[in-house]
């Protein structure tokens, strides 16, 4: 079965890819994604200067999900700007994830990365794991100002990666900002910030940064991710492509994201835990499920969720 999809005019050979942050920091990791069956190569969210990130241990997998406080370890935007043209040789879209520690950083990075011609740019408004730095995505005024500035310097399709929202009013207000800015796609959601996992045997937290607080991922956040995908799909009446992220560990999880309105999905926790072979498994599972359900392609079931 053909599992390809189109987002903002760009064809993806499969409707699943890595999430920014999962096995995508170094040249070696990015090239391995290129050789894998991932539908795209998504870079780590990049900052102006290279970053080592937060002290270790900073990732912990547990039954039901994961917690991390990575702190944006990355090579710095100059390295990714040089790498992006080389990654095109793999014949799949390159999605550059742009971050920053202040508003001006985003502009500096976006200009240089846009010049390196990735297929899409994902502006990360939602990293929850930088000590002392709030998520921009929860400040709609700052988000709109930043997106308007970035929009002026980006000529390739531009999307935004948003934090989880928990109130319909926030979905509505954020959608209005996105409409005014002219965004081409959405990535929903980043990890659910500031969770805490406790090891009762050792009577300790499980990661070192921020006193053990970190972003939650994996199956336990899937209902939150699905809710945000569905809410924004309804806000835009299906007009804006959505990449769903959160809780995808099986073909059935992908199908749920598609039903809620996602065009494609990104995987994080399961990619870290299982490795690049996960894309082979997910494609097989999704193809079998779509065939069983009588759908000819992923696009055929987008937004088809029934309400009672």
CA distance linking residue 251 with residue 249, whole number of Å: 7
Contacts of 274 (CB under 8 A, 6+ apart): 281
Token digits for 76?
Answer: 């710095």
Q: For residue 16, which of 240, 204, 268, 294 has the smallest C-alpha distance?
A: 268
Contacts of 119 (CB under 8 A, 6+ apart): 10, 40, 93, 94, 95, 156, 157
CA distance linking residue 306 with residue 266, whole number of Å: 23
CB 9 within 8 A of CB 157: yes
**DSSP code for 43:** P
Catalytic machinery residues: 127
Contacts of 272 (CB under 8 A, 6+ apart): 22, 23, 59, 61, 66
CB 244 within 8 A of CB 188: yes
CA distance linking residue 158 with residue 51, whole number of Å: 24
């Amino acid at each position: 079965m053909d599992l390809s999809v189109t987002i903002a005019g760009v064809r993806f050979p499969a409707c699943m890819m890595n999430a920014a942050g999962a096995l995508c920091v170094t040249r070696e990791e990015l090239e391995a994604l290129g050789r894998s069956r991932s539908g795209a190569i998504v870079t780590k969210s990049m900052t102006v200067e290279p970053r080592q990130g937060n002290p270790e241990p900073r990732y912990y997998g547990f039954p039901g999900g994961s917690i991390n406080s990575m702190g944006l370890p990355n090579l710095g935007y100059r390295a990714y700007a040089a790498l992006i043209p080389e990654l095109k040789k793999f014949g799949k879209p390159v999605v550059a994830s742009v971050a920053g520690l202040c508003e001006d950083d985003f502009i500096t990075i976006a200009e240089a990365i846009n010049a390196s011609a990735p297929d899409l740019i994902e502006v990360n408004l939602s990293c929850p794991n930088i000590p002392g730095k709030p998520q921009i995505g929860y400040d709609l005024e700052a988000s709109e100002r930043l997106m308007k500035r970035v929009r002026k310097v980006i000529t390739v399709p531009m999307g935004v990666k948003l934090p989880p929202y928990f109130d319909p009013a926030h979905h509505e207000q954020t959608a209005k900002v996105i409409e005014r800015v002219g965004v081409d796609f959405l990535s929903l959601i980043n990890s659910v910030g500031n969770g805490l996992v406790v090891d009762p045997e050792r009577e300790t937290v499980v990661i070192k940064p921020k006193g053990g607080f970190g972003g939650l991922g994996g199956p336990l956040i899937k209902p939150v991710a699905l809710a945000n995908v569905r809410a924004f799909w309804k806000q835009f009446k299906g007009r804006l492509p959505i990449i769903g992220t959160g809780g995808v560990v099986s073909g059935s999880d992908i199908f749920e994201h598609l039903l809620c309105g996602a065009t494609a999905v990104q995987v994080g926790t399961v990619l870290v835990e299982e490795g690049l072979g996960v894309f082979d498994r997910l494609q097989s599972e999704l193809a079998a499920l779509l065939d069983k359900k009588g759908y000819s392609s992923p696009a055929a079931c987008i937004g088809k969720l029934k309400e009672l």
